[in-house]
Structure formats: structure tokens, C-alpha cells
Amino acid sequence: MSITNIKLTQKVEVFIRLIQNNENIKDACSKAGIKISTASKLNSSK
């Protein structure tokens, strides 16, 4: 399955797991298939 066919909520779950495993934000975004600007919004909403 292509990363583009995955819902945003699933991408965010992957992103969070990567961050919890000490992945840097740029790589976590790339691996999760989300934009850095989206990750910034998630981080600022905490």
C-alpha cells in the first residue's frame, strides 16, 4: 500500500511513535509521510 493511501491519523500515530523512539523530526516526518508544517502544528497544540 502506498503511503498516500493511509489516513492522516495513522500517519500521526507513526510520527508519534518515531518521535518517542528518539527519531529527529525531519526523518520522522519523512518516514510517516507528513509535512514538517503539519508536525509543527501537532507540536504546538500540546
- CA separation for the pair 1, 43 (Å, rounded): 27
Q: Is 1 inside a domain boundary?
A: no
In a domain, 2, yes or no: no
37: helix, strand or coil: helix
**pTM of the prediction?**
0.75
pLDDT of residue 4: 65
Distance from the Cα of residue 18 to its chain's centroid: 8
Cell digits of residue 8: 492522516
Residue-wise pLDDT for 1-32, tens only, equals 456 678 989 999 999 999 999 999 999 999 99
Number of domains in the chain: 1
Q: Can you give the pLDDT at residue 1?
A: 46
SS3 13: helix
The whole domain housing 23 covers: 9-44
The burial of 39, by beta-carbon neighbours within 10 Å (0-12 exposed, 13-18 middle, 19 or more buried), is given as buried
